[in-house]
Chains A and B, each alone.
Chain A
Amino acid sequence: MINQIYIENEIKDHPRVQSILKKFKRKKPIYIDKYASVFNKKNQNFRIQKKYPSLILSQKKAGYVLKTPADFGIGNSHNFYFSHMYNCLYDCEYCFLQGMYSSADYVLFVNFEDFEEEIKEKISFLKNEKVTFFSGYDCDSLAFEKISGFVKYFLPIFKKFPNVDIELRTKSTQMDPLFSMEPISNCVVAFSLMPTEIAKKVDHKAPSIEKRINTISELASMGWKIGLRFDPLIHGENWKILYSNLFENVFKNIDKKVIHSITLGPLRFPKDMFKKIISMNPRSKVLSDKLVLRGNKISYSNGIEQEMQSFCTGLLKDYSPDTLFFSCKGNF
């Protein structure tokens, strides 16, 4: 799974690094000055690296917590995201990370304590305000948990601030830290979902939709709050039937009381990022569909986008109240 491990010299004795190395006893790490000596350099090939990714252990120096784009949120007035890792174990054809970095290697920032400090600063500055922190923007929140211990570290911190929400965005079914703890009322475990038939073709290396739904069902039965993220909505023959089946399947397996929020988002890419992504994967079915340039974004035509959004919203209203719905238009 991991081709090579690189470690920044400055953190070679960091306890988290030592603990991660114990999980890769056969790997002889290479020590580097900074992660950028390996990651995201010119003339790297994302597709080849995706097949043989390396793990780079690093420490982030600044920008631990960032504001989300304006229309990104699930009801609270202040929204931030933080990324303890760049890149993802999965290989989804529509993923923007392919266009963001020229490397597919995983960069794991081990200085969780610095993230924690900045999170606490934001919470303290915005006390009495409704705030959501999102994790899972530049990586999957849980897929690398066995190595990173990210959720195990951060959830107890957020537990101390019940007025602040934390969203863990994931496609993973590795839920060990969540299965072994009591549900935390301000944590939303948000799963990305799409019809099985589409996921089979585009969500490479990710758990099947059936497995994801089973995991959601287990978490829900324990009382964890669940976020349903139908983002991106993907078009194709019989899409109405495919999405109707998906929604039916999801809601017959989940207790509606634990659904915290539902978001719908269109397939969209910033123009320049799309160019990079399709040049890396020119034979992708979803990227080869009739996508058009609208302003600075590449997406389906306005007609298709609107039809999908309103059809899916209409169906979902049969299962859930309006107050749980949020849309993410993704204007760049």
Chain B
Amino acid sequence: MVILEIYFINELRNYDHDKVHYPFILPQLKIKSAMLKTYDKPQNNYQNSFLFDMESWGFYNIIQRKITRELIAIIKIISDNSIETISSISKDFVKKLVKEKVEYLVSLRDIGYSLSRIEMERKKEPYLFSDITKNIHFTFSQREQLKKFLIRWDVHFPKRPLFPEIKDLKDAKSVLGYLESSLDSHILKWE
């Protein structure tokens, strides 16, 4: 492995436990991919078939419990090899390594952003939800019902402003009742 080369990790192994993760491969990757093994001690038995470090497994293993796999990526820049060993690494050297790759890393970040937008769109709070619940008290289950109705409203009546229709309603039950009856009396248009 050549110093300064950048790698996308496509297989992540925990050396001690022989467990494996296969991270999602970002689309349009223009760098090499490699397997990485995480050890709990520094290694100097350099291999050509895989990379090693001491932190990626821990990072991935924790974060994948909270975040969907498609939004996690591990990218490594080679800092040492059998010729230039770990003893040659300094803070300034690491800065230099990263600086040279920043432009590419930013482009990868943008790919990540475009994927996370898909997820953001799916999870985004329905339009008017905050405004409605700020003024009227909704119980937890009523809030969930309201979210569903507001999404359906958005899908079925994208050009029909809701606010003028509900502005005089005083309580959660009336708002939900109004939404439900409007949505249920609507017939989907396909043409």
Q: Which residues of A contact B (CB under 8 A)?
A: 3-4, 6, 28, 30, 32-33, 37-38, 41, 43-45, 47-49, 51-52, 54, 195, 197-198, 201, 234-238, 242, 280-286, 288-290
Contacts and interface: CB of A to CB of B under 8 A. Distances in A.
A295 B41 CA distance: 58
A237 B22 contact: no
Closest 4 CB pairs of A and B: A236-B188, A48-B70, A45-B68, A4-B25
B118 interface: yes
Given A41-B69, A43-B65, 11 more contacts: A4-B10, A43-B64, A43-B69, A45-B68, A45-B70, A52-B25, A197-B190, A237-B191, A282-B122, A283-B154, A285-B188
A323 B185 CA distance: 37
B108 interface: no
B152 A288 contact: yes
Contacts of A235: 187-188
Interface in B151-191: 151-152, 154-156, 183-184, 187-191
Contact of B118 (A44, A48, A234, A284): A48
A48 B68 contact: yes
A195 B190 contact: yes
Nearest to B21: A37
Given A43-B67, A288-B156, A237 B27 contact: no
Question: Is chain B's interface secondary structure helix, strand, loop, or mixed overall?
Answer: mixed
B11 interface: yes
Question: Is chain A's interface secondary structure helix, strand, loop, or mixed overall?
Answer: loop
Interface residues of B, number: 31
Contact of B190 (A28, A242, A280): A242
Give the residue among B67, B118, B184, B190 with the most A Cβ atoms within 10 A: B190
Contacts of B24: 48-49
B22 A37 contact: yes
A48 B69 CA distance: 10
Given A54-B25, A238-B191, A290 B67 contact: no
Interface in B15-46: 20, 22, 24-25, 27, 33
B115 interface: yes
A45 B123 CA distance: 12
A45 B188 contact: no
A70 B67 CA distance: 40
Nearest to A235: B188
B155 A285 contact: yes
A48 B20 CA distance: 22
A9 to B, nearest CB: 12
Interface in B56-96: 64-65, 67-71
A30 B190 contact: no
B151 A201 contact: no
B55 interface: no
B119 interface: yes
A33 B65 CA distance: 22
A118 B53 CA distance: 47
B152 A44 contact: no
B25 A45 contact: no
